Amino acid sequence: MTGNLAISATNLTRKFGNILAVDHLNLEIPEACIFGFLGPNGCGKSTTIRMLCGLLTATEGEATVLGIDVARHPEVLKRRIGYMTQRFSLYDDLTALENLRFMGDIYRLDRQTRDDRIALLLERFELEALSNQLAGTMSGGQRQRLALMAVTLHEPDLLFLDEPTSAVDPESRRQFWEFLFDMVDTGTTILVTTHFMDEAERCHGLAILDKGALAASGSPRQMKESLPITVIEIESGHSRAVRDLLLLNSKVVDVAQIGTLLHALVDPGEAEPIRHLQRLLRQSGIKTEMKVVVPNLEDVFVMATHGLMPA
């Protein structure tokens, strides 16, 4: 990562009538990194991306992207960015090659440059053998790679990816992220929205959004280390009953089930959290094993969306 900023936003706000979709958002995103937006549906992730792309005018605030004032020069900005939407936006009834040639013409690449870039990307994204296949007949992972090729044909400095891996298998997701890191190594900045905690862990920096506002930000490691909570891992043969009992106590912020285990988030003011939880469960007769563990990113997400992360 460099010390320069790819994106700077101050009090970025968007209203749709009486609905506040994005609420005075402040962001600083360095160049040559992968920055993630994490948050529940409807929290403002996609709306923020559309404002940063110049596709949607902010109600209040301002944003500078790649040194360009988005409000004043959106068309200049659009020539330097790529935007991959949640839905596959290429033509199902065109082949992969036809789609790429069409996108090259949209970006106003001369024919030689266009064809050279297509050849390079087909090889890099391992789609050479499928270049003459209709896009509509491709698998989810293949369509995803084709869409990424299409938005990087013009070698953008910044990529916006809106939930790009939501409809593909784990192997395709892993491969997709390898491509993203390759791009960052060449200086590209990537802003990606995701619902997957393992993908959020891969990001250099994260912003957790909730109800249109910034709930937490930093690197995944920084946010986990600064979490103002004690996390108790609980093993029990009666996980749901344990969860329901613990949630009745005011010092238990939340309890999440992770496989056969529970993560109980306990007020850090409780000096003996394990003994406290054991007392709560003693009368039920349920046997448990407990230990204090390091918070994971899901714990951070729960705290942030409860409004309990430090400012």
Name the domain boundary from 199, 219, 239.
219
Same domain, 128 and 237: no
Same domain, 159 and 39: yes
Is 303 within a domain?
no
Q: Over the chain, what is the mean pLDDT?
A: 92
Same domain, 242 and 180: no
What are 81-133's pLDDT values in tens digits?
A: 999 988 888 999 999 999 999 999 999 999 999 999 999 999 988 899 999 99
Same domain, 49 and 166: yes
The total number of structural domains that make up the chain: 2
Is 307 within a domain?
no
Tokens coding 155:
């070698």
What are 241-295's pLDDT values in tens digits?
A: 999 999 999 999 999 888 889 999 999 999 999 999 999 998 888 889 999 999 9
Same domain, 234 and 209: no
Same domain, 138 and 284: no
Same domain, 207 and 173: yes
Name the domain boundary from 219, 243, 265.
219
56: CATH: 3.40.50.300
* Residue 257 structural domain: 230-294
Same domain, 37 and 154: yes
pTM, rounded to two decimals: 0.89
